[in-house]
Structure 1
């Protein structure tokens, strides 16, 4: 390894490696599956009943199940996204120039995301609802996520870029919250939440997830060390991440167009009393 490339070498301490052992990470992913199941079956229904009692109970069973799924996604995405942002802002060793570096905060957060994705995939497959009209697209997205999270969890390569992927979950919180507000009959709140969704989407998925990601990664692509990371890691970085990024670049203008359309629909005279239908 030449001195110019020495900054890309593996950096790990024994304590870090012990904390992020495969057994611990696998246990975290399994615990995340259990936690998500509890969110879906116990915590989510209780929260929906407590805060939106009459509105929630007036919905069909299919929509009630749909809102339970959304609640599960909101809580898990909030945990993953918030942890990733805190790690990005506070972890001094999270350096884009380090191709290999074991950072437990990233590994365990990715393991939790892996468990959530497994639970979410099983939920949407086993508990199908009529409200889910893009099942094939969701499953394809989840398969890509499972591959990326598996690599990010059980490999120490490269944590900076894995953490960027985890920060994308911040926008998911607002997306699911907006859908929930609309289903519960809060169209004005839905518009406000959707604006926050677009803002967070642009920040974490376009600026960080695309611009910053490739700004730091392109110089590493020119080093021989990058291509020694192993096939699974290269598949995740050069396959899964570009797929996510392409979807994000397609989804963002579609989401902006949707906001404009929803604003026009909600502000028509016929819909002015929609939000107050349930007292």
Structure 2
């Protein structure tokens, strides 16, 4: 958690001032704090998501049939995710800023992630499925980048980022995180050995993951609807002038 907080306090503001000085400083203090939070999330999610993808593609011992098999890279990545989620939950609670999702749903999502990350860090069970959960952070990178581009009035650029966000969301959270996840897991549920796993793992699997996946299924059409609305807002009177002047976009 200390390393994640350092990203927000030190690295995040430096990057924002380096690349977006002209558009960052005119923002209100609350908006600047929100930009720092988004920058922290982008860096943390990029690290977690990229590591998980590399493990998924290259780790030979990552097998969906393995019930108990400790893969250090997955455990360390999950521990970092745990710290990031704690810091991100505190940031959302304190800032209470608007996102594309319902605030209560977002906090519920974070609480579920805390439980799943804790179980994944210390159990050493079901590494394949834990890693799939970590891979979902790839879409978070583009989600936060999309929101940041809107807040900084990079309106047309945000539409390009939005395509990547919706594409990665569908791939890692719907196709991989729901369809492939249960395709491999259902056969394991039919074995008696599965129910000998640690209680926190079973609680995370049957309590956290279904709710987590349900939220993803609810959020995807909402995100598509929001993206369509943003596309239409680009063509409304005043949108182009707002973008050129570098002012805050009132439709963000």
Partners of 2:109 and 2:215 within 8 A in 1? no
Q: Mean Cα displacement is larger for which, 206-215 or 236-245?
A: 236-245
Matches within 5 A, 1:8-23: none
Give every structure 1 segment of 4 or more consecutive aligned residues whose post-TM-superposition deviation is greater than 6 Å.
Answer: none
How far has the Cα of 1:130 moved from its partner?
4.8
* Aligned residue in 2 for 1:171: 139
1-structure distance, mates of 2:149, 2:246: 13
What TM-score do you get using the length of structure 1 for normalisation? 0.85
* Aligned residue in 1 for 2:112: 144
2-structure distance, mates of 1:212, 1:134: 27
Identify which of 48, 57, 60 aligns with 1:80. 48
How far has the Cα of 1:136 moved from its partner?
2.9
2:76 aligned with 1:108, yes or no? yes
Give the secondary structure class of the aligned counterpart of 1:272. Answer: helix
* Aligned residue in 1 for 2:250: none
Give the secondary structure class of the aligned counterpart of 2:246. Answer: coil
2:3 aligned with 1:67, yes or no? no
Which structure 1 segments of 5+ residues have no match? Answer: 1-32
2-structure distance, mates of 1:271, 1:120: 31
1-structure distance, mates of 2:97, 2:142: 22
Which structure 2 segments of 5+ residues have no match? Answer: 248-252
Partners of 2:234 and 2:240 within 8 A in 1? yes
Partner deviation per Cα, 1:68-118 (whole Å, 9 max, x = no partner): 000000000000000000000000000000111010010000000001111
Matches within 5 A, 1:217-228: 217-228=185-196
Give the secondary structure class of the aligned counterpart of 2:70. Answer: coil
2:243 aligned with 1:278, yes or no? no
RMSD between superposed Cα atoms in Å: 1.5
* Aligned residue in 2 for 1:17: none
* Aligned residue in 2 for 1:29: none
2-structure distance, mates of 1:135, 1:232: 26
Identify which of 231, 234, 246 aligns with 1:266. 234
Identify which of 80, 87, 93 aligns with 2:61. 93
2:162 aligned with 1:232, yes or no? no
Kindly tell me: are residues 83 and 240 of structure 1, through their superposed partners in 2, closer, same or farther at Cα, counting changes over 3 Å? same
* Larger Rg, first or second structure (1 or 2): 1
Residues paired across the two proteins, number: 246
Partners of 1:65 and 1:129 within 8 A in 2? no
How far has the Cα of 1:131 moved from its partner?
4.1
Partners of 1:62 and 1:129 within 8 A in 2? no
